[in-house]
Amino acid sequence: MPKWTQELRPTVGLALPIMLGQVSQMLMGITDSMMIGRVGTVELAAASFTGAIFGLIFVGCIGLLQPGSVLVARASGAGRPDEAGVWLRHARGLAWAAGLLLAGLMAASLWVADRFGQPGEVVAAMGPYYVLIAVSLVPSLLFQADRQFAEALGRPWPPLAIMLAGVLFNAGLNWVLIYGKLGAPAWGLTGAGVATLLARIATVVALRAWLRRESRFAEAIAAERAARITRARSREMLALGLPMGAALFFESAAFSAAAVMAGWLGTVPLAAHQIAISCAALTFMVPLGLSIALSMRTSEAVGAGRAERVRPIVLGATLLTCGTAVLSTAVFFLAGDAVAGGFSRDAAVVGLAARVLVVAGVFQLFDGLQVVFAGALRGLADVRVPMAAAFAAYWLVALPAGWWFGVRGGAGLEAIWVALAGGLAAATGLLGWRLRALTR
């Protein structure tokens, strides 16, 4: 068998629960959008804007915390479980610090939300929901730090089960608090925010309890409890995490900026953008899961002194990404109207969202490949070039083109998404070239 086929099976075995976990993370926001969409278009647009800001911050923080999984995997490859526990301690500390700081900044930004050019009725509706989602960033990052630790040590399924339970818990609370069931008040959009915050806190508590009871992690957890956060290790983690976070931030910020531009076009384009970005983000979780698995597997191979395995590992993931991209593209092309209709009853919103989903289908391949290449590079501790590539592709190509043609030129939301596709293609080319050079 070719080496890449031998490496593909363990990659998929690790990536599958990570993919499902990422999908579950997104399902909370998608569940909110679908249930809020039944309340009204203004509420859906408010959820869209809030989700765009939260997603921008959260995706950047995934990159910021990613060194935790990379360094834990490297320690595991070297046979050092105590070292893995020390890195968990630092990842948790970073999650607390980043979560509190960024949640505060997000909540404070509500005071200037009207300056983003959003419709007045949208800004008026989103206040409490916006603050509640901001606060939920803290438990989201704590869960991410613990989850990455478990995944890096080969135990990805229990965190997935906990996340899925959290999604169901969130949906049930949404039903009660949005629509006023079981004697509860009908809080509408605010009820969705309360439900999401409570569900995210519950998942952190459950995951932490499981980690403490898992005998396989006993040595690492004991080391984590005894460890102190040091400046040297914090600097090492930040030296990797800041460029990783910046790269994901640049990409996420491009899509969030696209949401802002969609808001400039009106409430209907903003609601349609929310539907399209929710669907694209859902399919994106598949290559993102592969990317996270790749960063762990390549880092573990380097830690074990087996760098010759890196290229076959990457090749298998690349071919799998191409196959999954074809499937998601077919769904967006053939069932765009049906998918959009599940989010809204507004015919104008559904029609525009369906057209945008066609564009989203076109860039599925580029979107998948660029994040897979970036994950492999993170595992090799190559983080600055991917950061520069992300900035150039999205902020020097995609966003200026989207504004020029979509907003200034009057071509509308479809043109903004075509420009994003161009940025993804540019990022794919740059990252592919870098990875080929390092693994030649």
Question: From residue 101, how far is each of 64, 127, 135, 240, 242 by CA, in Å?
Answer: 14, 19, 10, 20, 15
pLDDT of residue 267: 83
Task: Report pLDDT for 48.
Answer: 78
The 8-class DSSP code of residue 409 comes to: S
- Exposed / middle / buried, residue 112 (Cβ in 10 Å: 0-12, 13-18, 19+): exposed
End-to-end CA distance of the chain: 21
What's the pTM value of the predicted model, to 2 decimals? 0.78
d(CA 102, CA 157): 29
Residue 167 has pLDDT above 80, yes or no: yes
pLDDT at position 13 is 87
Contact 17, 160 (CB under 8 A): yes
**165 half-sphere exposure, CB direction, 13 A CA radius:** 13
Q: Summarize pLDDT for 177-226 with one digit per residue, the tens.
A: 999 998 888 888 999 999 999 999 999 999 999 999 998 899 999 999 99
pLDDT value, residue 373: 93
**Greater model confidence, 53 or 129:** 129
Q: Where are the domains of the chain?
A: 3-439
The per-residue pLDDT for range 311-351, each reduced to its tens digit, is: 889 888 899 988 888 888 888 888 888 888 888 778 888 88
Q: What is the pLDDT of residues 346-404, one digit of tens each?
A: 888 888 998 889 888 887 888 899 989 998 998 888 888 889 988 998 899 899 999 99
For 365-399, give one letter per residue: b (16+ CB within 10 A) or e: bbbbbbbbbbbbbbbbbbbebbbebbbbbbbebbb
168: confidence class by pLDDT, cuts 50, 70, 90: very high
> Virtual CA dihedral for 114, 118, 119, 121, nearest 10 degrees?
-60
pLDDT score for 114: 73
- pLDDT higher than 90, residue 86: yes
**CA dist., res. 333 & res. 125, Å (int):** 33
Amino acid present at 128: P
Tell the residue number behind the tokens 């898992």, with chain if given: 214
- pLDDT at residue 400, as a whole number: 93
**Is the Cβ–Cβ distance between 41 and 271 less than 8 Å?**
yes
Report whether pLDDT(44) > 80: yes
**What pLDDT is stored for residue 69 in this prediction?**
86
List the helix and strand counts (H, then E) for the chain.
Answer: 17, 0
Residue 139 has pLDDT above 90, yes or no: yes
Quote the pLDDT of residue 1: 58
Average pLDDT, the chain: 88
Question: Are 73 and 300 a contacting pair, CB within 8 Å?
Answer: yes
- What lies within 8 Å, CB to CB, of 160 at 6+ separation is 17, 18, 20, 21, 24
pLDDT higher than 70, residue 171:
yes
pLDDT tier at 100, thresholds 50, 70, 90:
very high
